[in-house]
C-alpha cells in the first residue's frame, strides 16, 4: 500500500489519535510485526508522529489537546482548572491540561504542552460527559474535583476568581454528597457556594 493510500485511509477513519490496534484495524494488518514495521516506515516518511508509547497522530492534521489527553493516559477525563476554563467558570487559561484518572499521578510533556493526570479513587471517578471526541467533567464535577484537591493541599486555585453562574447548585450538592472526605466537606462549607 502506498503512502498516499495509507494517508487517505487514515483520514477516512476521522480519528485524531491512533493506537497500535487502531492502525492495525484501519490498515488491515494482522501480524504485530507487520504493524510495527508499518508504523516505523510511516514515521520515517513523515506521515505519523508518536505522541507517547503506542499513541500516534498524523503529522499535518490538527488535533484537540483534550482528545490527546484522554488518549495519553486511560482512563481519564478532563477536569479541574482546564474544565472550569472550558465552561467559562475560570477566566484564566491554564497552561497545563489537567485530567482525572484512577491510575497513579502522572505528568506527560509533549512538545510545548504539559498534561497532568491526578489520581482519584474509583468511587470518585464519575460525572463526566462525552463532548465531541473527548471526555470532560460536568461543570459541577470539575468544581468538586478542584475543591477536593484544594482541600487536600494539592491545588492552588483562587476560588474568588470563579464565575459560578454556569453551575447548577442542586446538581453540585448531589455530586458533593458522593464525596466521603472530611477535609473536602469542611473546605466546601467554608466556601459558602450553596
Q: Per mean pLDDT, which of 24-33, 36-45, 127-136 is the most reliable?
A: 127-136
| CB 26 within 8 Å of CB 10 | yes
The residue-averaged pLDDT of 152-156 equals: 90
CA angle, 144 then 120 then 77, to 5°: 75
How are strands ordered across the β-sheet holding 55-58?
18-19, 55-58, 48-52
The residue-averaged pLDDT of 161-172 equals: 91
The residue-averaged pLDDT of 78-104 equals: 95
C-alpha cell at 14: 476521522
The residue-averaged pLDDT of 45-56 equals: 91
The residue-averaged pLDDT of 88-111 equals: 93
pLDDT at 151: 95
Residue 155 — pLDDT band, cuts 50, 70, 90? confident
Residue 194 — pLDDT band, cuts 50, 70, 90? low
Residue 111 — pLDDT band, cuts 50, 70, 90? confident
pLDDT at 130: 97
For residue 110, count CB atoms less than 10 angstroms from its CB and return exposed for 0-12, middle for 13-18, buried for 19 or more: middle
Q: Is the pLDDT of residue 193 over 80?
A: no
Task: Please state whether beta strands 113-119 and 48-52 pair in parallel, antiparallel, or not at all (unpaired).
Answer: unpaired
Residue 109 — pLDDT band, cuts 50, 70, 90? very high
* 86 contact partners, CB below 8 Å, separation of at least 6: 66, 78, 136
Average pLDDT value for the chain:
92
pLDDT at 157: 86
The structural domains of the chain, with segments of one domain joined by +, span 3-58, 72-191
Fold exhibited by the domain 3-58: Arc Repressor Mutant, subunit A (1.10.10)
Q: Is the pLDDT of residue 139 over 90?
A: yes
Amino acid at each position: 500500500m502506498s503512502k498516499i493510500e495509507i494517508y487517505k485511509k487514515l483520514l477516512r477513519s476521522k480519528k485524531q489519535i491512533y493506537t497500535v490496534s487502531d492502525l492495525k484495524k484501519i490498515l488491515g494488518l494482522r501480524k504485530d510485526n507487520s504493524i510495527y514495521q508499518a508504523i516505523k516506515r510511516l514515521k520515517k516518511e513523515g506521515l505519523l508522529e508518536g505522541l507517547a508509547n503506542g499513541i500516534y497522530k498524523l503529522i499535518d492534521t490538527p488535533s484537540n489537546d483534550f482528545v490527546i489527553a484522554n488518549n495519553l493516559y486511560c482512563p481519564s477525563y478532563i477536569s479541574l482548572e482546564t474544565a472550569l476554563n472550558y465552561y467559562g467558570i475560570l477566566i484564566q487559561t491554564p497552561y497545563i491540561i489537567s485530567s482525572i484518572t484512577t491510575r497513579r499521578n502522572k505528568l506527560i510533556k509533549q512538545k510545548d504542552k504539559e498534561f497532568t493526570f491526578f489520581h482519584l479513587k474509583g468511587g470518585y471517578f464519575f460525572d463526566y460527559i462525552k463532548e465531541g471526541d473527548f471526555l470532560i467533567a460536568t461543570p459541577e464535577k470539575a468544581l468538586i474535583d478542584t475543591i477536593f484537591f484544594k482541600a487536600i493541599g494539592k491545588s492552588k486555585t483562587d476560588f474568588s476568581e470563579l464565575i459560578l453562574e454556569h453551575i447548577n447548585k442542586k446538581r453540585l450538592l448531589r455530586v458533593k454528597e458522593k464525596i466521603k472526605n472530611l477535609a473536602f466537606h469542611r473546605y466546601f462549607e467554608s466556601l459558602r457556594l450553596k
